[in-house]
Amino acid sequence: MSTDLESRSRELLERARTEPDRVDVSAIEPLLEADDGHVRHDALRAATLIADDEPDRLRPIAGVIRARVDDPYPVASSTAMMALSLLGESHPDAVRPVAPTIVDHLDDPSPGYRFRAASALVPLAEPYPEFFVERADVLVDRLVAEPVVTPIRTEAVREENLSPDRIKTREKAREADRGRSIACREILAHLLVHVANVRPDALADRLEEIADELEAAEPSVREALVDVFGHVAEADLSTVELPIDRTVALLEDDDPTVRARAIRTLGFAGAADAVDSLRAVAESDDDEAVAEFARETADWLAETE
């Protein structure tokens, strides 16, 4: 029986690779209940290809795919989340029931699995912001804990006397993991933007920890984290102390988007002490739009002081 299921799953996967529109979706469901993890994984890979081609067709078996998020075969679990991330783009309600379990996978040991878990949550941000508000602390914890995989030290690998091909394979794998870890951090940061937009007070006690991530963060992550500060500043919460000094430091960031968002945050925060720094940006910034924004914000803060 196992051999028959393996054959069926391989055939179904091959068909999905070449003609996903001709795969009988109902044939996937029994394969997802198979005892063999390889069979379940192949079936989920086929489901992912179908979801990428025509997600509506996957809706009838969304329940059995959700059940595989906690599959004991790790690669099957990861692929289930990949399928749900694609299905969720048009049917976020099909992902929502298993969202708490997906959040639990954000601390998976594998950068790739963490990235797939984070990706599966993205479609839920707009329709279900309160879900993330309730888990704001978890998102901050995961952002702080999410390691950025460093580039491999080639000389260290060569000390192991590996062949050039093995060294190249390791380097490529390491670089792929680095890309996934950065992408996961970016997603977590953007989910925190949604939290700050809906309930800025939910992050009031975590702003310093978030600010600690700025220095080593990638530009895309810094952009999102400054947006978090901007939403909190815009809410004008009297009990919240914004990291103003950290925000002023971002006026010298290499990324013009980060600089512009820092200016916006300082304006919302009514940071009169930042007027001189803003005027310096207005005089020296190479980006005309950023320079003008800094000038306008400095003038406004000076007038309202």
Q: pLDDT of 13-22, one tens digit each?
A: 999 999 999 9
Q: What is the mean pLDDT of residues 274-294?
A: 97
**Cβ(153)–Cβ(146) under 8 Å?**
no
Domain boundary pick from 221, 238, 255: 238
Phi, psi for 254 (deg, rounded to 5) = -70, -25
What's the pLDDT at 125? 97
Burial of 216 (0-12, 13-18, 19+ CB in 10 A): exposed
In a domain, 225, yes or no: yes
Domain match, 222 and 278 both: no
Confidence check: pLDDT of 162 > 70: no
Count of domains for the chain: 3
What's the pLDDT at 120? 98
Domain match, 229 and 247 both: no
Confidence check: pLDDT of 167 > 90: no
| pLDDT 10s digits, 96-146 | 999 999 999 999 989 999 999 999 999 999 999 999 999 999 999 999 987
Percent of the chain with pLDDT over 70: 92
**∠ at Cα 146 (218, 261), nearest 5°?**
35
Distance from the Cα of residue 73 to its chain's centroid: 23
What's the pLDDT at 172? 79
In a domain, 118, yes or no: no
Domain boundary pick from 238, 264, 293: 238
In a domain, 120, yes or no: no
What's the pLDDT at 161? 62
Domain boundary pick from 190, 213, 238: 238
Q: What is the mean pLDDT of residues 237-241?
A: 81
Domain match, 104 and 155 both: no
Number of residues assigned to the chain: 305
Show contacts of 25-29: CB within 8 Å, 24+ apart. Answer: 25/50, 25/57, 25/58, 25/60, 25/61, 26/60, 26/61, 28/61, 28/64, 29/61, 29/64
**Can you give the residue range of the structural domain that contains 226?**
125-238
